[in-house]
Amino acid sequence: MTGLRYEVPGRTLLDGAALAVDSGQSVAITGPSGSGKSTLLMCLLGLIQPKSGRIEIAGEDITRMRPGRLAKHRRDSIGMVFQFAELLPELSPVENVALAALLAGRKRDEAFSRAEELLEDLAVAGARDTATADLSGGERQRVAVARALINEPVLLLADEPTGALDEENRDSVATLLFSLPKRWNCGLLVVTHDASIADRADEHMVLRQGAFHMAEQAGSGV
Ligand SMILES: Nc1ncnc2c1ncn2[C@@H]1O[C@H](COP(=O)(O)OP(=O)(O)OP(=O)(O)O)[C@@H](O)[C@H]1O
């Protein structure tokens, strides 16, 4: 993204912000509460439109796209992991993951077999016959990661992905997340309040006064 500008009444939240996330690379963003991190994610998802600037995802500027094309581009190019997984609790993990592929237009057999493979790879037990609601918090985040990966996105976005987890699960989910860019040749952008998680990224940037600054040391971003 370059020259990103976003205003709310009385305040400029993004003031010419620029950032690149290459394939195979992870970038973490921290910043004070209210600095605009969620707003930035919403711009990247195309849910709100910046006043000016470019957001190039998979080589295309999404700020100029029509809604239908944008929705398809988002499904094909972006995977998203939320703080609370946001899965359908009564479905099995396989069904949750396959659903994302079905919505992207894949055939049923392919969607389900791919979902099963991914969940096995991410060590989620009982993927076929357990309700997702019955999984632990860490397992649910692994399912959310599988769902984000199933359409082979070029960009993975994660919003406080470890914020709802205990220490042990926090560490294992962070290890999983930061292994993804190299394994899947995608970019990973993580928004977090946790500087120890952010410091594990290839680059740790702090959003302050509408622009990105390199974090100087552990803890400097919070
Ligand atoms: N549409 C809007 N109208 C008015 N104010 C808004 C609007 N959208 C966002 N804001 C304000 O902009 C600021 C930035 O919000 P945002 O949620 O992006 O911050 P954040 O960095 O994600 O904060 P936190 O770390 O607390 O989650 C907040 O003060 C919010 O109230």
Cα of 51 vs centre of ligand 1, distance in Å, is 16
For residue 175, is it within any domain? yes
ipTM: 0.95
Query: Quick check: 156 pLDDT over 50?
Result: yes
In a domain, 196, yes or no: yes
Asked, for residue 221, whether it belongs to a domain, the answer is no
219 assigned to some structural domain: no
**CB contact burial 188-215 (16+ within 10 A = b; e otherwise):** bbbbbbbbebbbbbebbbbbeebbbeeb
Print the domain residue range for 137. Answer: 2-214
The pLDDT of residue 48: 96
**Within a domain: 130:** yes
First to last CA, the chain: 23
pLDDT computed for residue 123 by the predictor: 87
How many distinct structural domains can be found in the chain? Answer: 1
The alpha carbon of 39 and the centre of ligand 1 are apart by a number of angstroms equal to: 6
Residue 167 lies in a domain: yes
Distance (Å, whole) CA 89 – CA 95: 10
Cβ of 10 closer than 6 Å to ligand 1, yes or no, is no
The helix (run of H) or strand (run of E) holding residue 177 is helix 167-184
CATH of the domain at 30: 3.40.50.300
State the pLDDT at residue 217: 63
